[in-house]
Amino acid sequence: MGLTSNKVLALAVVLAVVLFALTIWLWPKLANRSWRAVLGRIGLLLGTQLMLFASVGLAANNSFLFYGSWADLFGQENGMGVVVDHSAGSKDIKVTGKQKPDTPGAGNPAAGGEIQKVVVQGQRSKIASPAYVYLPPEYFQKKYENQKFPAAVVLTGYPGTAENLIKGLRYPKTAWAQVKQKKAQPMILVMMRPTVAPPRDTECVDIPGGPQTETFFAQDLPKAVSQTYRVGTKPQNWGFIGNSTGGYCALKIGIHHPETFGASAGLSAYYKAASDPTTGDLFHGDKAAKNRSNLLWSLDHVAPAKSSFLVTSSKSGEDNLKPTLKFIEKVKSPARVSSITLDSGGHNFNTWRREIPPVLEWISSRLTAN
């Protein structure tokens, strides 16, 4: 049973209740001072507390998906363990598996769509990274067999997993529903984590002598997807969405690469690259590169393009409201900026789930298939 399985959570809760009942039932019998009684009391107390903590931890993880699997929990990341053959004529994307989205009709791609697990090999960046590609039902329908689709890169935060975007934030299910409600057009979603060189937080920066993360997202990824799936190569064909670190990346790539991405949405984004033990030295003393990573600085110094931006925050619960208002103020024509400001909402999945439907509707209105 997987870490996020409801059966695992139910088992932990049942064991906690059983141990609690045993503690109450057996306590009178273990009230004397013999070493066996003392060990019995200690064992019952520790066992009960352990299962209580496990139940709470599993419930929290099922809600926020901090970890997607037991291997992820124990630091045994194995998602990169795929050999990709790049001999002449091979593609930059290798499909390693397929799964059903949480949509009505799942199992029939033409009705419920399909999620493909892939490995993307960056030709310029030399980065190989796993991703999930959601293909809408229309992609498999004969009516659309010669039609291209708009696409959006979707990033989770750090140190999240791509599974968060499927199970926790429900992007495929929401995108499916938006199309059925005629609020959005069918789109291909390329779902990833921003950390393409785990466990390092690369902040979507081309690090001197290190991972060329910006090059991967801005050049390699769109090229590989367009060569593999029916997606165009113009800016109006491509969007970028992310939350937290992923939101920073989406806005950063959108500002500096308007030739590739026509619309970018940052949910609870921050506006300059983090610098902490998880990032290490990102710039190696290069002040120009550090300034460039500051989005507010970039808006003042980079010529605006015909790009669209969407930023989100809340009046209570988020600490990015002031810089978000500054970002809005600094966006200049011909660029456009929109915003979502909740009255209350913290930096968590519940907040982002409230924002994702209008974000998908917004980005759909900014993109075209051809």
Lowest mean pLDDT among 6-10, 226-230, 358-362: 6-10
What is d(CA 275, CA 56) in angstroms, rounded to the nearest whole number?
Answer: 31
Q: Residue 62's pLDDT is what?
A: 63
Q: What is the pLDDT of residue 89?
A: 35
Query: Is the whole model's pTM more than 0.85, yes or no?
Result: no
The residue with greater pLDDT, 159 or 140, is 140
Q: What tens digit of pLDDT does each residue of 223-262 get? A: 999 999 999 999 999 999 999 999 999 999 999 999 999 9
Tens digit of each residue's pLDDT (9 = 90 or more) over 21-52: 888 887 787 777 787 777 877 887 887 888 88
Contact 156, 194 (CB under 8 A): yes
User: What pLDDT score was predicted for residue 13?
Assistant: 85
pLDDT at 70: 60
Kindly indicate the confidence band of residue 83, based on its pLDDT and cuts at 50, 70 and 90: very low
- What secondary structure does DSSP assign to 167-231, as a single string? IIS-HHHHHHHHHHTTSS---EEEEE-S-SSTTS--TT-B-TTS-BHHHIIIIIHHHHHHHHSS-
Mean pLDDT of the chain: 88
Beta bridge partners of 267: 243, 312
Mean pLDDT of the region 43-66: 75
Is the predicted pLDDT of residue 351 greater than 70, yes or no? yes
pLDDT attached to residue 270: 95
Work out the number of other CB atoms within 10 angstroms of the CB of residue 333: 7
For residue 77, what pLDDT band results from cuts at 50, 70 and 90? very low
**So what's the pLDDT on residue 85?**
41
Please give the Cα distance from 74 to 91 (Å, whole number): 33
What is the pLDDT averaged over residues 329-356? 93
Strand order in the sheet with 263-267: 93-99, 114-121, 128-135, 188-192, 151-155, 238-243, 263-267, 308-314, 336-342
* pLDDT at residue number 355: 95
- At residue 88, the pLDDT reads 35
Q: H or E stretch including 64?
A: helix 35-64
pLDDT tier for residue 87 given thresholds of 50, 70 and 90: very low
Burial of 332 (0-12, 13-18, 19+ CB in 10 A): exposed
Please answer whether residues 160 and 347 qualify as being in contact, where contact means their C-beta atoms are separated by less than 8 angstroms.
no
- Residues 65-74: pLDDT tens digits? 555 566 556 5
Query: For 170-186, what is the mean pLDDT?
Result: 96
Note the pLDDT of residue 289: 94
Of residues 47 and 75, the one with the higher pLDDT is 47
Assign 80 a pLDDT band (cuts: 50, 70, 90).
very low
Q: What is the DSSP string of 3-63?
A: TT-HHHHHHHHHHHHHHHHHHHHHTGGG-S-SHHHHHHHHHHHHHHHHHHHHHHHHHHHHH
What is the reported pLDDT for 199? 85
**What digits encode the pLDDT tens for the residues 183-213?**
999 999 999 999 888 888 999 999 999 999 9
In this structure, of 17-21, 74-78, 232-236, the range with the lowest mean pLDDT score is 74-78
Nearest one of 303, 206, 199 to 249, comparing CA atoms: 206
Contact (CB, 8 A) for 172 and 113 = yes
